[in-house]
Structure 1
Amino acid sequence: MKISIIAIAAAVAPGAIADFWLTYMARDVPGAPKLVGGTNEGAVFTKDQQITCSDMRSTIYSDADDVSGHRIGMRTVPGNIVQPPIYRDPLEVVEFNTGMGKPGHHTIYKDRGYAMFDVDGKKTGQCHLNRSQAFQLKCDDNGDTVYLEGSTMFFCESDLNVVLD
């Protein structure tokens, strides 16, 4: 009985969501050094389509050429860099790896109707291409100015329980 109560509590814990938005975000703090590892531009997971200043501390999974194994980040194919706020287009394959944190390592394929699969080839969700929400925000962070820019990429229906920061 204790195990089922723990499982239920974990499933409804704040910060965990099933369906999610995968959004491209560039974060800049003028005058501050770039974060080690280039974590200022890449994918963020959100529960809402609309990005707000409260999302400025979201973990950004940086652009990478390879996110296999223990490599954390997001890889886009063909990986074309385009003008902000879109940044990457087209999105034919989007692979992300969040490491040990949820949702983990998954790939979204255009040629499979934007279905999402884990590394074992199991379908883990259905994503919908959605580039409709662009954002440019100027946020205050204890006296520092933080600029956020980007756009939505996908809305994904899944039972993965993505953990938000």
Structure 2
Amino acid sequence: MKLVILSLLVTSLVAPAIAHNFWMVLYHGSFSELGFKFISEAPQCTAELHDAKLYADRSDVSGDKWGVRYELYGGITDIVEWNTNDENLGHHTMYRDRDYGIYDTNDNRKGRCIPDSTRDFDCLFQFTRVSGFSILNCTSDSIHV
């Protein structure tokens, strides 16, 4: 019995952290609803996509300004900063020139994203049509939806 407990303890100490995958999508809903959503799976017409919180596109998301700052350079995703006031997503920035790394506000690397705009969606939820497409597919040990 002691050997089993010791084995479990050692395994838990040396096992790698669980990586969480998440996607950021551009979302266009009804009534001029436009912004970004973070979801755990590739975008599909699911309750998760419908119910995920919508974050506005903003030029400044520092401090208590919630939203997403999305910058392109030459048509390529360059910098994506999000401040969500949510302990799971938090306040992070993804930089193209740093290998698409995700960094927290203390400049600690927290994950990595891959630009991916290949997953589009066009959904009818009850009487509301929404559409959009993926922007980032990210992996992190500490950031999750």
TM range, normalised to the smaller chain? 0.7 to 0.9
* 1:132 aligns with one of 118, 124, 129: 118
Contact kept, 8 Å, 1:27 with 1:56, in 2: the verdict is: no
Q: Which has the higher contact order (CA 8 A, sep 6+)?
A: 1
2:61 is matched with 67
Query: What SS class does the counterpart of residue 62 from structure 1 fall into?
Result: coil
Root-mean-square deviation (CA, aligned residues, Å) is: 2.1
> Normalization by structure 1: what TM-score?
0.69
Task: List gaps (5 residues or longer) in structure 1.
Answer: 1-16, 35-39, 81-88
Q: 1:79 & 1:62 partners in 2: Cα distance?
A: 20
* 2:132 aligns with one of 150, 153, 156: 150
1:18 is matched with 20
The Cα of 1:28 is off from its aligned counterpart by 0.9
The Cα of 1:119 is off from its aligned counterpart by 0.8
* 1:96 aligns with one of 82, 86, 96: 82
> Normalization by structure 2: what TM-score?
0.78
2:50 is matched with 56
Report the more deviating stretch, 153-162 or 128-137: 153-162
Query: What SS class does the counterpart of residue 111 from structure 1 fall into?
Result: helix
May I ask how many residue pairs the two structures share in their alignment?
Answer: 126
Q: 1:51 & 1:60 partners in 2: Cα distance?
A: 16
Q: Percent identity?
A: 26
Asked which structure has the greater CA Rg, the reply is 2
Q: 2:139 & 2:107 partners in 1: Cα distance?
A: 17
Q: 1:98 & 1:67 partners in 2: Cα distance?
A: 9
